[in-house]
Homo-oligomer: A and B are copies of this chain.
Amino acid sequence: MGAVAHKPKLYEQVAERLEEAITAGTLRPGDKLPSVRQLSLRERVSISTVLQAYLHLEAEGLIETRPQSGHYVRRRERPQLAEPQLSRPASTATLVTVSSLVASVYQSMGDARMVQLGAASPSPELLPTRRLFRELNALTRDARDRGVQYDVLPGCVELRQQLARRSMDWGCSLAMDDFITTFGASEAVHLCLLAVARPGDTIAIESPAYYGTLQAIEALGLRALEIPSCPCNGMQMEALEAALTRRRIAAVLVVPSFSNPVGSCMPDVRRQRLVNLLDAHDVPLIEDDIYGDLHFGPERPRSCKAFDKRGNVMLCGSFSKTLAPGFRVGYVAPGRFRERVELLKFSTSVTTATLPQYAIARFLQSGGYDRHLRSLRRRLCAQVQRMTSAVAEFFPEGTRVTRPTGGQLLWVELPQQVDVLTLHAKALEAGISIAPGPIFSARTDTYRNCFRLSCGHPWTPRIEAAMATLGALARSLA
């Protein structure tokens, strides 16, 4: 055995420095890169290392080779696309019935033969699996009995300590006892909904919203009130305020950082306003911060919880989008609802599985998580840019696309006349899976010309071909 720590190879280091320069705009589309010999001298590496670095960047779609000329930063093929506009959902609360449509979409998302442009999970090659598994294997030697036994509520001490430390980066200073570990952010949100709402109650959400949230609302017999939201800055405060005065709302649920599906990121001032507004109305805020660690800019967005003075914010998060979806490890800091959420956690699943929690805690303790995040963010940023270029290149005139500053998702708005369910069906026939717009609303007649694109996979010729096919299909429907 005796696995050793993964050090980036030389060519990866060279590629990363170039990638940073491209992401930061130091190198712009169309710029010529240094010649192989120049770079070899500058970086003090061999010619073959430089060649490998250039091949790698080319595979990622960041640069291109022009025969007899050299290497260039890849140009966007067309002028930048417009962003979609503010959403205008129906103003009444709706009993959600999105499930049957989701089920059929979800089926195709699990099909390995499809080109997966729909699912929102990072590709396994972006995850530090080897290092996580090393921690897991170490645990099976060092913590035998503990590993098979029930963990004790509120969850693994070491993990909660790490979360408390990390909460400083979120603008909070939570203590480890503020946290309860959960089976992913899904369980965290489920517990929060159970804690503050009863069947028939109304939950205000962004529009469009993650279909899993809609299903959680549907499953509990709740109503969804979709609030107009901006693809850039998230939920509109005026619209929410008006809704709060019109009817009783049991809770507001937002994904403030790099929301699913549109990737919006609420500015701090809006977060603060949201927290104050809900404090004034005594309505709890469920904050799903699952994408918060995936910022492309230098700073992590603060959490809404950072503005919470009364314990009114229930902060949910997980490691499913950054480390290991299949480990199912998440957390909730439920503020003043802590006791009720802990009771619900116990009666829902007793405690979170032991080994996955401890393995992640050890990985965090080792400092490996931050190093991994830096590289993951850079790669996702590059993949989002590459995918955006492909939309610009292949899709019909009038197509709009979001410009997320983090996460791994794009929201594409096609010309009005394109029916995305038809596009979805034709794409499936062509072996391509996308997430069509209607599953992101409680009313399945909305977002019929939109879809969500996942940028979780490194760019490959297979994905490029799929995007070309998808674009051609969309053009044929436009």
> Which A residues lie at the B interface, using CB under 8 A?
1, 99, 103, 106, 110, 121, 124-125, 127, 129-130, 132-133, 136-137, 140, 144-153, 183-184, 186-187, 190, 194, 198-199, 212, 215-216, 218-221, 320, 323-328, 343-344, 346-356
Q: Which residues of B contact A215 (CB under 8 A)?
A: 343, 346-347
Q: Which residues of B contact A146 (CB under 8 A)?
A: 326
Q: Is the CB of A328 within 8 A of B343?
A: no
> Least Cβ distance of A358 to chain B in Å?
9
Q: Is the CB of A347 within 8 A of B219?
A: yes
Q: Which residues of B contact A150 (CB under 8 A)?
A: 121, 320, 325-326
Distance, CA A125 to CA B133, complexed state (A): 25
Q: Is the CB of A218 within 8 A of B347?
A: yes
Known: A133-B144, A186-B350, A327-B354. 8 other contacts (CB 8 A): A99-B343, A136-B136, A148-B324, A183-B183, A183-B328, A187-B349, A328-B354, A355-B355
Q: Is the CB of A212 within 8 A of B347?
A: yes
Question: If A343-B219, A347-B219 touch, does A353 touch B130 (CB 8 Å cutoff)?
Answer: no
Q: Which residues of B contact A147 (CB under 8 A)?
A: 129, 133, 326
Distance, CA A218 to CA B146, complexed state (A): 30
Q: Is the CB of A129 within 8 A of B144?
A: yes
| Residue from the list B136, B145, B151 in contact with A129, Cβ < 8 A | B145
Q: Is the CB of A348 within 8 A of B136?
A: no
Distance, CA A146 to CA B145, complexed state (A): 26
Distance, CA A356 to CA B136, complexed state (A): 12
Q: Which residues of B contact A328 (CB under 8 A)?
A: 183, 349-354
